Amino acid sequence: MALRRPPVLLGRAGERQVLDRVLENVRGGQSAVLVVRGEAGVGKTALLRYCARQASGFRVARIAGVESEMELPFAGLHQLCAPMLGRLAALPEPQQAALGVALGLSSGPPPDRFLVGLATLSLLAEVASERPLLCFVDDAQWLDVATRQVLGFVARRLLAESVAFVFAVRDSTDESELVGLPELLLGGLPDEDARALLASGIGARLDGRVRDRLVEETRGNPLAILELPRGLAATQLPGGLGLLEDHALPRRIEESFRRRLEALAEEPRRLLLLVAAEPVDDPLLVWRAAERLGIGPSAADETEGLLAIGESVAFLHPLVRSAVYRSAAPPERRAVHRALAEVTDAGADADRRAWHLAAAAAGPDEEVASELERSAGRAQARGGLAAAAAFLRRSVALTRDPARRTDRALAAAQASLHAGAFEAALALLAAAEAGPLDALERARVDLLHAEVAYAQNRGSDAPLLLLRAAGRLETLDVRLARDTYLDAWSAALFAGQLASAGSLLDVSRAVRAAPHPEPPPHPSDLLLDGFALVFTEGRLSATPVLRRAATAFAGTEVSVAEVLRWGWLATAAAVYVWDYDTCLAVATREVRIARDAGALEVLAVGVNVLGQAAALGGDFGRAALLVAEADAVTEATGARVAPYAALVLAAFRGQEPVGSKLIDATIAEATAGGQGTAVQYAHWANAVLMNSLGRYEEALPAAVAASDDTPELFVATWALSELIEAASRTGNPELAAGALDRLLDSANASATDWGLGIAARSRALLSEGDAAEGLYREAIDRLSLTRLRPELARSHLLYGEWLRRVGRRVDAREQLRTAHELLAAIGTEAFAERARRELVATGEKVRKRAVEARDELTPQEDQIARLARDGLSNPEIGARLFLSPRTVEWHLGKVFTKLGISSRMGLHDALPSPDQEAARA
């Protein structure tokens, strides 16, 4: 006995067209997403039904959120995916595992939510490869948070899968997950359609004036048009309008439903309440609970059409559910929840049962509270962090014992933090602070406060808060205190010079004064001690410690968890001691581990570090791939990581005006976000770029800015060599001399070929005669023992420039030719051009390098083409770039067309391998 009204849709011509176009696009092999937004009762669901009727040839999947305080992890996603799980085996293994755990099908480590998103995308694409797939997500405002996050992620990444997603959502809510997707705003019906609807609803009983007033007051809201006249007694109709004018329309409709409820008999009313309290659409369950409450089956026929129970359970409209639940007295509600708990399976549906028990509790109840705690644990194990937080919050409310209450409030705050619910986390911390706290709990409160600040914004006052928390922990738990200090250091490093308080120096001093753990030190202890020494004792004492730390992180004695948490700090330690190979090894390991674990926030930092290393090594092709991956992962996760790799690549490539734009944008954004180190990086990148272009007057201030701001950091040291180059070309010897002293300190402390090579080159720039020549040669010798090809090439360039100035034209040509060839081969365009100009000045004729012929490919196409050439399958490429394999295939199709080839095989010839690229240039 369906309640569905006859499928007549009045008006809405424009809206129908939009939906028709969605279907048309999908039939044509594209994907489409639409969010239909509008107030309650305005006709969103009706439009979705229209769309379903038009969707012949589609496979249709429908899910709907249900208004309920209950938060069950991935409940909506389960509804969506359950019928498709036959295809799960087609997904890459890590995605299968992630989705399996999220949906509670298998156990495993809690999956990263973005990996669950990617798995869902792949699954939908796989299903849609048979025939187009249309997914309706009605009442999206009531979906569980985990599902909304996943679907928002999927919707943003659909392109060529033949999947349509149509969401319906109330406009009064702001689900950030859906913000920015294409929208259709639904307003009321135009007067004429509204009048027609009114006539169809209550017929000819109304006179024209009343009818017009009704249409006006309802502003064309179809549900209001159908419902309000019904809610008012016939006698009230003419005069009763406008009585409730001061209320928003949905409230008025709800009140109207409430009046209809009041007219019902006791039994059907309690049946309605029972159904309203249960989010799962399960008629059998409802009847079993009804029996316990002494409600007979006939009650369903006495609800005046407000409720229908057949194969499924359906209210006339979702507002009936709110009206029923909200108007019920608390004891009535508790009674139905108790009945529902009694009939809910304690094994299979333990979490739902726990929630009903909680709602049935009249006051604190330890048994139920600990039941909820267990539910939270299960939710957490599935990656359902929002649900875990919700269970724990409820558990807090039911806990009487003050100590336990504090404990649970802290756990709930932690879960809320991890779920990204920062406000909730802060509220729980306040609740915890209101109770009695022992010293360790006090410290945990501080730590959580700090972590919330860090998660909200890396550059904020997180370092200070972490520092305080670490200090409090010192006497309670040395290990935890040390770990917290390292996190504080990490936060302070992001903030750099912009840290308000809790600077790198503050953290370092505190670390030096803090108690030491039992020997032997962990690699993380070495990291912490080494960094602290940099700022307190100086680089001579710091260098050996940091070198040991970095080397340890490159090996296997460091656990996966430690690499994920501090790997990037170890790469910073490696470059601090001028150890490129170790930096590369740690970054490579970190990225591999982060990819395998699906730890995407870590990956966002890791690919940035690895991309920088690739650029410094002169492997620009690989660097570009990593930059693109960094873009994809930061975009997908919203991680706030500055574009470090892109900056290094742009600086060395010497592409203008692209490089300057990136640098300016980074300075602006990082300054606003309090990420001081990114600002410093951008200044350094600017110095390199300006030097490459021969614009030394502009390079100089940039290099000064980068080397002055937090002078202890390696970026500052790198900037010194740029400063010396610019100063020596602009006649600023005194500036250069000071910089040289600092550079030598750093290079001599580490004594690696990289550092000593750069130092020799910089000294050469400030020397004359044989001394200069010997130093240039030393620089070239040393750097040719490293992988830092761009720096080697630059040394040939500077040597050649010097030779030309001292009149040794033939020798100059030899160096400049080598420099030009190397620089052009690497792709350092501006430096290559600088070498070419110098060569021409020696009298040699040099062709400008031909512009590469491949630039018709978009950056994304280029990247996909290179990955395909390197042998990655479409799913593998998709996993790297957060796209479905179908979308990868679609991009590849475009690549083939543009390159005039017909298969992946052709890519090898159409796109030169990195070696060939080098050889050709």
CB of 317 to ligand ATP, least distance (A): 6
Instruction: Return the number of the residue (257 or 882) whose C-beta is nearest ligand ATP.
Output: 257
Single residue of 22, 23, 33, 42 touching ligand ATP by CB under 6 A: 42
608 CB contacts (<8 Å, ≥6 apart)? 626, 630, 641, 642, 643, 644, 645
Among 43-51, 654-662, 702-710, 788-796, which window interacts with Mg ion (CB under 5 A)?
43-51
Among 31, 38, 211, 728, the residue binding ligand ATP under the rule CB under 6 A is 38
40 counts as binding ligand ATP under rule CB under 6 A: yes
Contact of residue 408 among Mg ion, ligand ATP, none (CB under 5-8 Å per partner type): none
222-227-230-233 Cα dihedral, nearest 10 degrees: -110
Contact flag: residue 45 with Mg ion (CB under 5 A)? yes
The rounded distance, in Å, linking the Cα atoms of 147 and 518 is 45
> CB-wise, 171 or 870, nearer to ligand ATP?
171
Count Cβ atoms within 10 A of the Cβ of residue 218 and give its class: 0-12 exposed, 13-18 middle, 19 or more buried.
buried
Q: Residue 392 binds what, of Mg ion, ligand ATP, none (CB under 5 to 8 Å, by partner type)? A: none
Peptide bond into 657 cis (omega under 30): yes
883 touches which of Mg ion, ligand ATP, none (CB within 5 to 8 A by kind)? none
For 230, residues 6+ apart whose C-beta sits below 8 A from its C-beta are 201, 202, 256, 260
Tokens of 358: 């909680």
**Under rule CB under 5 A, residue 414 binds Mg ion:** no
What are the structure tokens assigned to 508, written together? 């370092």
Neighbours of 509 (CB within 10 A): 15
Query: Which residues, numbered 461-520, are part of the site for ligand ATP (CB under 6 A)?
Result: none
The secondary structure of residue 139, as a DSSP letter, is T
Output 51 or 223, the one with its CB closest to ligand ATP. Answer: 223
Q: Which residue is nearest to Mg ion (CB)?
A: 45
User: Binding to ligand ATP by residue 317, rule CB under 6 A?
Assistant: yes
Residue 490 found at the interface with Mg ion (CB under 5 A): no
Residue 46 touches which of Mg ion, ligand ATP, none (Cβ within 5-8 Å per kind) = ligand ATP
Q: Are 826 and 789 in contact (CB under 8 A)?
A: yes
What is the smallest separation between the CB atom of 231 and ligand ATP, expressed in angstroms? 14
Q: What residues form DSSP beta bridges with 491?
A: none
Report in angstroms how near the CB of residue 62 gets to ligand ATP at its nearest.
13
Sole binder of ligand ATP in the list 155, 198, 274, 319 (CB under 6 A) = 319
Of the ranges 44-52, 375-383, 690-698, 828-836, which one interacts with ligand ATP (CB under 6 A)? 44-52
Residue 205 CA to residue 649 CA, distance in Å, equals 76
The sheet carrying 133-138 orders its strands as: 59-64, 133-138, 163-170, 32-38, 183-185
Q: How many CA atoms lie within 13 A of 819 on its CB side?
A: 27
Tell which one of 318, 567, 654, 755 touches ligand ATP (CB under 6 A).
318
* Min dist. Cβ of residue 43 to ligand ATP (A): 3
Please name the residues in contact with 669: beta carbons below 8 A apart, sequence gap of 6 or more. 642
Q: Report residue 158 as tokens.
A: 């659909």
Q: Which residue sits closest to ligand ATP, CB atoms considered?
A: 43
Tell me the torsion sign for CA atoms 680, 683, 688, 691: negative
Question: Whose Cβ is closer to ligand ATP: residue 9's or residue 440's?
Answer: 9
> Rounded CA gap, 84 and 443, in Å?
47
Distance, CA of 625 to CA of 647 (rounded, Å): 14
Which of 30, 31, 34, 44 lies at the binding interface for ligand ATP (CB under 6 A)?
A: 44
The type of residue at 43 is: G
Binding status of residue 11 toward ligand ATP by CB under 6 A: yes
170 binds ligand ATP per the rule CB under 6 A:
yes
Residue 170 partner contact from Mg ion, ligand ATP, none using kind-dependent CB cut-offs of 5 to 8 Å: ligand ATP
Site for ligand ATP (CB under 6 A): which residue of 19, 33, 41, 891? 41
800 binds, among ligand ATP, Mg ion, none (CB under 5 to 8 A by kind): none
Give whichever of 44 and 729 is closer to Mg ion, judged by the CB atom: 44
Please report, as residue ranges, which positions from 210 to 239 form the binding site for ligand ATP (by CB under 6 A): 222-223, 226
Q: How far is the CB of 852 from ligand ATP (least distance, A)?
A: 54
Q: Which residues pair with 170 in a beta bridge?
A: 38
**Distance in Å, CB of 478 to Mg ion, minimum:** 57
Nearer to Mg ion, 44 or 782 (CB): 44
Choose between 45 and 828: whose C-beta lies nearer to ligand ATP.
45
Asked whether the beta carbons of 454 and 491 are under 8 A apart, the reply is yes
Toward Mg ion, which CB reaches closer, 317 or 836?
A: 317
Contacts (CB under 6 A) with ligand ATP, residues 111-150: 139
**Closer residue to ligand ATP (CB): 164 or 249:** 249
Compute CA distances 501 → 466, 492, 504, 551, whole Å.
11, 9, 9, 31
Q: Does 12 bind ligand ATP (CB under 6 A)?
A: yes
* Whether 272 contacts 303, CB under 8 Å: yes
For 293, the 3-state DSSP assignment is coil
| Cα 5 versus chain centre, distance | 42
CB of 113 to Mg ion, least distance (A): 27
d(CA 568, CA 676): 17
Taking the complex as a whole, the smallest distance from the CB of residue 307 to ligand ATP amounts, in Å, to 15
Tell me the Ramachandran region of residue 282: left when phi exceeds 0, alpha when psi lies from -120 to 50, beta otherwise. beta
Least separation in angstroms between CB 180 and Mg ion: 22
Give the bridge partners for 164, in sequence order.
32, 134
The helix or strand, by DSSP H or E, that contains position 168, with its residue range, turns out to be strand 163-170
Residue nearer to Mg ion on the CB measure, 45 or 818:
45
Name the DSSP letter for residue 328.
Answer: S
Location of structure tokens 């639940």? 325
**Contact between 9 and ligand ATP per CB under 6 A:** yes
Q: If contact means CB under 5 to 8 A according to the sort of partner, which of ligand ATP, Mg ion, none does residue 220 touch?
A: none
**Residue placing its CB nearer to ligand ATP in the complex, 44 or 796:** 44
Which amino acid, one-letter code, is at 560? V
Residue 197 is a binding residue for ligand ATP (CB under 6 A): yes
| Tokens representing residue 344 in the block | 């809910």
Query: To the nearest whole angstrom, how small is the minimum distance from the Cβ of residue 324 to ligand ATP?
Result: 14
User: Which of the ranges 85-93, 311-319, 864-872, 876-884 carries the binding residues for ligand ATP, by CB under 6 A?
Assistant: 311-319
Smallest gap from Cβ 320 to ligand ATP, in A, equals 10
Please pick, from the candidates 26, 32, 34, 46, the single residue that binds ligand ATP as defined by CB under 6 A.
46
- The distance of closest approach from Cβ of residue 44 to Mg ion in the complex, given in angstroms and rounded to an integer, is 5
- Output the CA angle 903-904-907, nearest 5 degrees: 105
Q: How much of the chain is helix, strand and coil, in % rounded to 5?
A: 70, 5, 25
Query: Residue 10 interacts with ligand ATP (CB under 6 A)?
Result: yes
State the Cα angle at 72 between 70 and 75, rounded to 5°: 125
Nearer to Mg ion by Cβ, of 168 and 546: the residue is: 168
The minimum distance between CB 4 and ligand ATP, in angstroms, equals 8
- Of 36-44, 113-121, 406-414, 532-540, the window that binds ligand ATP (rule: CB under 6 A) is 36-44
CB-side exposure of 341: number of CA atoms within 13 Å?
Answer: 18
Q: Examine residue 920 and tell whether it contacts ligand ATP (CB under 6 A).
A: no
**What span, in angstroms and rounded, lies between the C-alpha atoms of 548 and 534?**
14
166 bridge partner residues: 34, 136
| Residue 63 DSSP code | E
Residues of the shown chain interacting with Mg ion in the complex, contacts defined by CB under 5 A:
44-45
Residues of the shown chain interacting with ligand ATP in the complex, contacts defined by CB under 6 A:
5, 8-12, 38, 40-46, 139, 168, 170, 189, 197, 222-223, 226, 317-319
